Amino acid sequence: MYFYHIALLGSPLEPLTYHSDDFLSVGREVEVTLTKRIQQGVVIGECEKPEFTTQPIGMTRPFFYSDAQIQCARFISEYYGCALGEALNLYVPYSIEIEPIRKEISLPSINVILSESQAKALDFIRSHPVSLLFGDTGAGKSEIYMRRMDEILSEGKRALLLLPEISLTPQMESRFREHFGDAVVVWHSKMTPKQKKVTLEKIYNGEAHIIVGPRSALFLPISDLGLIVVDEEHDESYKSSSRPRYNARDMAVYIGSLLKIPVVLGSATPSLGSYAKYPFFRLRGGFYESKRTFVFEFSLEALTPSIDRIIMKNFSDGHQGIVFIPTRANFKYTVCESCGYHVECPFCSVGMSQHKNSRALKCHYCNYTEVLPKVCPKCQSGALRTTRLGTAEAVEHFSRLSETLRVQQFDRDIITTQNKLIKVLEAFNRHEIDLLVGTQMLSKGHDYHDIALAVVMGLDNLLSQSDYRAREKALSLLVQIAGRSGRKQNATVFVQSFNEHFFREYLDDYEKFLIDELRIRNDRYPPTKKLARLLYAHKNGLKAKEAMEEAVVQLQRIDTVQIVGFGASAIERIADKYRFQILLRSDKSTDLIRAIKHVKSSMMEIDMDPIEFT
């Protein structure tokens, strides 16, 4: 009889001991019983017979996890503070039943033609295990990726292209299919089970040479992987907001080191951490010789006559435009002018957003919905006022400017599927839409062919957030949205902000901002310091608070970490759970991990290298 430690997939439990009459290799996926329920698990090691009675291992499944996958999962478990089974659950295992077949591909005879600066960039990324391609929007980073992938494929290896969001995959897939044909497959969470099965078979049998997808694609069973490219590496979508709270960009670098393969990070506005950590090549300019003129309006976030005029002029000139607003729905807040009551979600400490079309107030945190009130729930007055403009309201406003102006909302309320995204982008590029009004979706690297106007609202709200990265986030967003315009002709970027001096200083030199910001953060915040956030949540707010305070007392005795702050979270309650947090700082991540282990509890969730503080 053999005894094994089994990590239960998706379970917060530590590995449990089971026995089997058969010898099982490490990494084999099995079925076991836990409290009369059948669960899937992974053999992570053989062990001695324990003193207690063990349960037998049930059937073995036709899947296994490679040594590299298990090693990487152990790192995720240790660094990001989760159980090994939770880390392994990120991975798609290898198949025992499907034999890999090396299928040769024939690339088009016309290769990607690079400019002199692009050729230098290609030489640069060839010569570094991890490199940052710091290229302006429209400078041709994708062409460099494809040329490097050509070289990797010629070596009999495969390449992985990570994108920050599913919304980016249609256009990038189309561009890569033009060059690589059927050797390209796409992977993302919105695929149907049948689509996933077909894609996995191609990955298993070797038909798929180029794999494109968001952060989950990093955990696919890609044998012979020879290159990882992380496009738009600055994007926050690479950081998981649920346990385990890993950062796919950082994990790509770790996996590259583990497999001894090159990793290329790319962005027009690279994160300060990547800029400070990795060798970079500065790729300047764009493919087109157009210019962008920035016009600032000193105003609060509002639809002003100046915005109306510039949109109508752009329309009358026969051009398209985009409008960025950070908030979805019609309005973000509903307030009573008689008693000052602020209509909040009954389960979260946040205002509910008004959606006129569905005649409802919705919570964008827990999705609770209620009928749009006609009177104040507190004083029964009819003096309800809405504040903080949203995309839906802006669409209604702009549609009233002209009967012939075709306006389209572009956010998660409307773009709910891949097909809808593709249809809107295709319609826009066919000039069937004149004005796109959207949230951060607009900044996500889409190619818009004929934009001569970009209107950016709400930047000052980003700039005033209690986040050490507020300046970086606001400037990066402006540069990214501005970069969607002026691809083929001169463009105007109209910015509503009281902080023109800050933005103008860095608009033409993002690297100058990174240098200045590095100096400002030095010895206080990343990348020169390491941060960790400990989250405590419970339906009983007193229990969550007591657990946090107990941890604070223990952490204050540890010299190697500093408590930056602690208390109720900025949004104290979400989904009827009260939330408290501790923010820790240290010179080394190892010191943070050791300190956190001293205070570990079932109520605590660990967020290493946090990027969100609300």
pLDDT in tens, 377-403: 778 777 666 656 788 888 999 999 999
Instruction: Select the more confidently predicted residue: 611 or 104.
Output: 611
pLDDT at 388: 61
Lowest mean pLDDT among 115-129, 230-244, 475-489: 475-489
Instruction: Select the more confidently predicted residue: 492 or 372.
Output: 492
pLDDT digits (tens, 9 = 90+) for 425-435: 889 989 999 99
Long-range CB contacts for residues 233-236, cutoff 8 Å, separation at least 24: 233/132, 233/265, 233/266, 233/267, 233/270, 233/271, 233/274, 234/267, 234/269, 234/270, 234/271, 234/274, 234/476, 235/164, 235/165, 235/444, 236/164, 236/611, 236/612
pLDDT at 421: 83
State yes or no: pLDDT of 497 exceeds 60. Answer: yes
Q: What is the mean pLDDT of residues 480-500?
A: 88
pLDDT at 592: 97
State yes or no: pLDDT of 446 exceeds 70. Answer: no
- Percentage above 90 pLDDT, the chain: 65
Residue identified by tokens 């037998």 is: 56
pLDDT at 258: 97
Instruction: Select the more confidently predicted residue: 440 or 32.
Output: 32
State yes or no: pLDDT of 297 exceeds 90. Answer: yes
- The band of 600, judged by pLDDT with boundaries at 50, 70 and 90, is confident
CA distance 144 to 121: 8
State yes or no: pLDDT of 286 exceeds 70. Answer: no
331, 389 contact by CB (below 8 A): yes
Residue identified by tokens 């006559």 is: 305
CA distance 494 to 606: 41
pLDDT at 445: 59
What is the per-residue DSSP string for 71-89?
A: HHHHHHHHHHT--HHHHHT
State yes or no: pLDDT of 34 exceeds 70. Answer: yes
State yes or no: pLDDT of 460 exceeds 80. Answer: yes
pLDDT at 137: 82
Range list of H helices, 368-499 = 391-399, 418-429, 459-463, 470-482
- The band of 342, judged by pLDDT with boundaries at 50, 70 and 90, is confident
pLDDT at 287: 56
Lowest mean pLDDT among 4-18, 437-451, 567-581: 437-451
pLDDT digits (tens, 9 = 90+) for 150-161: 999 999 999 999
State yes or no: pLDDT of 58 exceeds 90. Answer: yes
State yes or no: pLDDT of 240 exceeds 80. Answer: yes
Question: What distances in angstroms separate CA 84 from CA 77, 255, 259, one per listed residue?
Answer: 5, 17, 20
State yes or no: pLDDT of 115 exceeds 80. Answer: yes
Lowest mean pLDDT among 42-51, 299-308, 334-343: 334-343
CA distance 6 to 30: 9
pLDDT at 436: 93
pLDDT at 567: 94
- The band of 331, judged by pLDDT with boundaries at 50, 70 and 90, is low
Lowest mean pLDDT among 324-338, 496-510, 533-547: 324-338
Tokens describing residue 397: 């406003």
Lowest mean pLDDT among 9-23, 318-332, 448-462: 318-332
Lowest mean pLDDT among 371-375, 451-455, 506-510: 371-375
Q: What is the mean pLDDT of the chain?
A: 89
Q: What is the mean pLDDT of residues 196-213?
A: 93
Q: What is the mean pLDDT of residues 204-213?
A: 93
Residue ranges of domains in the chain, CATH in brackets: 2-90 (3.40.1440), 116-283 (3.40.50.300), 292-328+390-518 (3.40.50.300), 331-389 (no CATH), 530-608 (3.30.70.560)
> Which of 11-25, 171-185, 390-404: highest mean pLDDT?
11-25
527, 273 contact by CB (below 8 A): yes
Question: What distances in angstroms separate CA 312 from CA 143, 194, 294, 441, one per listed residue?
Answer: 36, 46, 18, 23
- The band of 105, judged by pLDDT with boundaries at 50, 70 and 90, is low
CA distance 455 to 296: 10
- The band of 219, judged by pLDDT with boundaries at 50, 70 and 90, is very high
- The band of 108, judged by pLDDT with boundaries at 50, 70 and 90, is low
State yes or no: pLDDT of 479 exceeds 70. Answer: yes
Instruction: Select the more confidently predicted residue: 505 or 330.
Output: 505
CA distance 443 to 440: 5
Lowest mean pLDDT among 440-444, 500-504, 520-524: 440-444
- Percentage above 70 pLDDT, the chain: 93
pLDDT at 546: 95
- For the CA atoms of the chain, what is the radius of gyration? 26
pLDDT at 489: 79
